[in-house]
Structure 1
Amino acid sequence: MLLDGVDVRRLPRRRPLRMVFQDPYSSLDPRMSIGESITEAMPRGAHADKAGRRAEVARLLELVNLDPGRTGTLPGHLSGGQRQRVALARALAGQPDVLIADEITSALDVSVQGAVLNLVRSVQRRLDLSMLFISHNLAVIRYISDVVAVMYLGRIVEAGPAEQVLTDPQHPYTRDLLAAAPSAHTGLSGIAGGIASGIAGDDSGLADIEPPDPHHPPSGCRYRTRCPIGPLANPERTVCATTDPADGAIRRRHRAACHFAGSGSEHLGISALSKGGSPL
């Protein structure tokens, strides 16, 4: 992973990156007030005196829609949504170039998730901030992201502009995720039922196969042991077991790590996704 062309493992300092963690109940020190937690994250020398630091804490709390008068409050007196707002303010206090948000709404009540996501999108736009947003929720990804990278067993299998990837997925795993997303009648992509039942037949059982051990991934394509268009459904496609599809991904649409990228998508009825609106 590169940041301005530099491998993040070789950055001279860690300041350009800050992270908001998944669990707001464990990411804040319970013995420190929220003002102290935010102040601790400020770069050394950024604010010369206590008055400047207090003013910056107040500004950051206002930015995340919290009362600046609560700087002395301990995290135990806050709700999960309020704690996650504090965690966001704490990350922003480090003046990052890139903010990493790891499943930041998954531990929150559904009634709070939408408000936090709206806040994140507002802050992102107001500060012109780059963000790496990690989530299993495709509705959230659609709402937040400009570019999407889909991962399977620790490897990116498809990447591209969010609207293109979500409306015209090339990798079977991406289509599987879209088909599995819950809605009133169909998946997020407009497909009724899972992708495996749509291609390999309702009795194929591919959708129920456990994923392989990530420490010992399959040879060739890592998704081939569950893929509805791979050798389990099409025995003649032996290339999936012998050749890593990532080697030629750059030549395929969305850099899909699949020898048969796009194959079968014309039969799936992929429907366009509307942009904007509430993710919940």
Structure 2
Amino acid sequence: MSELRFEDVTVRYGTGRRAMNAVDAVNLTVPSGQVVGLVGESGSGKSTLARAAVGLAPLAAGRVLLDGKDMNRRRQRPAHRPLHMVFQDPYASLDPRMRVGDSVAEAIPRGSLTGTAERRKEVVRLLDLVGLDAHHALARPAELSGGQRQRVALARALAGRPAVIVADEITSALDVSIQGTVLNLVRDLQRRMRLGMLFISHNLAVVRYVSDVIAVMYLGRIVECGPVQQVLADPQHPYTRELLAAAPQRDGYAWDFAQDDGAVTEAEPPDPHHAPPGCRFHPRCPVGPLVNPERTACLTRDPSAGAADRVHTTACHFAAERPAPSDAPA
């Protein structure tokens, strides 16, 4: 059981005037044995943060720590890396020329098993763990369905004996009829093995189903983060409320924008190469300066600075303040 922590992580693409921070000074913790759901619209930086976690996207600044150890310092990289990723497209993440059993066996740490027979036995165990039969080990990815390929990808990730798994939109490429089965499998495996998990999705219903904590990302930054039930029942950031308003209404979680001060502002997302000053969401905010001109702080002051003092560590100047701890009874 291990804690994954992002400390001021920045990932930059390009150079000079065309440089863009796809992830900008992100702080996020995946507690040991818990699932953190990361949501946001396309282009918000979710997948880039996932790739940074496993070393596929170089960091411009900050650190990725697993149990306090920097995962991106080469001299500290262990032979067995306890952090594995499951990609969005299961077909692209598997070698089409290799049999499924060989792909899974390849991920087993060297020296952990002795002999071919033991490795084959472990492959069969892993396939059974994700609901596949032993004969699937002889198949190639093209001979399997999308759901079966994603199960193989999960088995391959588990073969590395990780402490934390990063799951990047693992159901978005699957048919709706298969998504529920894969989600049930993921939740069951996580609870049985007490794995930490960063679960990335743009589907709030999916995140609510599997996650303990939810983090909302917009234009490269985390704008709200807290226990999933609390965030969905009482969202503090206007962007979180917009995401909820766009989701199907059920269980009382959808936000009624009639409660806001103004109508939703119809606007295109800003150019990520030229992020707006102050609050990055202010050009689209339904309660910001476009609707309430007196809220000039949004135009110049970064709300991330005081996020720790607000409910759900919300990066919004007008979010509710975190209540002061009550005094202990005498």
Structure-2 separation of matches of 1:189 and 1:151: 19
Q: 1:101 Cα shift?
A: 0.3
* Matching residue of 2:71: 8
Q: 1:61 Cα shift?
A: 0.3
Structure-2 separation of matches of 1:19 and 1:6: 18
Q: What SS does the aligned partner of 1:248 have?
A: helix
Pairing of 1:127-138 with structure 2 (within 5 A) = 127-138=193-204
Counterpart residue identity of residue 99, structure 2: S
* Matching residue of 2:209: 143
Asked if structure 2 preserves the Cα contact closer than 8 Å seen for 1:20 and 1:99, the reply is: yes
Asked if structure 1 preserves the Cα contact closer than 8 Å seen for 2:130 and 2:185, the reply is: yes
Q: 1:8 Cα shift?
A: 3.3
Pairing of 1:14-29 with structure 2 (within 5 A) = 15-29=81-95
Q: What SS does the aligned partner of 1:83 have?
A: helix
Counterpart residue identity of residue 238, structure 2: P
Structure-2 separation of matches of 1:136 and 1:229: 23
Higher relative contact order (CA 8 A, sep 6+): 2
* Matching residue of 1:274: none
- Among 211, 218, 223, the residue aligned to 2:276: 218
Are 1:84 and 2:156 an aligned pair? no
* Matching residue of 2:31: none
Asked if structure 1 preserves the Cα contact closer than 8 Å seen for 2:233 and 2:252, the reply is: no
The runs of 5 or more residues in structure 1 that have no matched partner are 264-280
More strand by share: 2
* Percent identity of equivalent pairs: 64
Q: What SS does the aligned partner of 1:52 have?
A: helix
Asked if structure 2 preserves the Cα contact closer than 8 Å seen for 1:178 and 1:188, the reply is: no
* Matching residue of 1:53: 119
Q: Does the C-alpha gap of structure 1 residues 114 and 262 become closer, same or farther in structure 2, counting only changes over 3 Å?
A: same
Give the structure-1-normalised TM-score: 0.86
* Matching residue of 1:200: 262
Give the structure-2-normalised TM-score: 0.74
* Matching residue of 1:266: none
Structure-2 separation of matches of 1:103 and 1:247: 30
Asked if structure 2 preserves the Cα contact closer than 8 Å seen for 1:182 and 1:188, the reply is: no
What is the aligned residue count?
Answer: 255
Q: 1:12 Cα shift?
A: 2.3
Pairing of 1:29-48 with structure 2 (within 5 A) = 29-48=95-114
Q: What SS does the aligned partner of 1:71 have?
A: helix
Structure-2 separation of matches of 1:21 and 1:154: 20
Q: Does the C-alpha gap of structure 1 residues 254 and 172 become closer, same or farther in structure 2, counting only changes over 3 Å?
A: same
